[in-house]
Amino acid sequence: MERGKAGKAGLNVVVTTMVSDSHTWNLVFLQLLLEELGHRVTNLGPCVPDEVLAAECRRRRPDLIVLSSVNGHGYNDGLRVVAGLRACPELRGTPIVIGGKLGIAGAEDGARARALLAAGFDAVFEEAASVDAFRSYVRSLPAGVLL
């Protein structure tokens, strides 16, 4: 389906972890949550190499890309991954979000989130963020983001 043609069934969403994260329960939860909201989800699974993620997103042209991390390396991985995704002309306007356990140092003052936003993420949902905040963000997106 072309981008911007999501229709009444909602958004086309890609959900994934990054290459260092082997967790799957978070992806299943996100997939079910997004499907409950009426969206179509492609779950790429755990340990997705950067090149595979970029290729799949270029091929699928999703309306939203959701990166999830549970292992505490989401900050470092996220900076690298978002740079690669934003380097793809086809994905420059695609909303990309990251959430979960993004660091191993515990609670912090928001510097991680600010750095991730500056690097190219549209939203950051740290470990303490509520599911409602993520739902609200997703609901704020128009069905079928137009380029």
Q: pLDDT tens digit string along 50-93? A: 999 999 999 999 999 999 999 989 999 999 999 999 999 999 99
Confidence bin at 143 (pLDDT 50/70/90): confident
Average pLDDT over residues 112-135: 93
Q: How many C-beta atoms surround the C-beta of residue 27 within 10 A?
A: 22
Helix (H, G, I), strand (E, B) or coil at 27: helix
27 contact partners, CB below 8 Å, separation of at least 6:
15, 16, 17, 43, 45, 46, 68
pTM equals: 0.90
Residue 39: how many CA atoms within 13 Å on its side-chain side?
A: 26
* Closest C-alpha to 51, from 74, 23, 84: 84
Distance (Å, whole) CA 111 – CA 79: 13
Confidence bin at 146 (pLDDT 50/70/90): very low
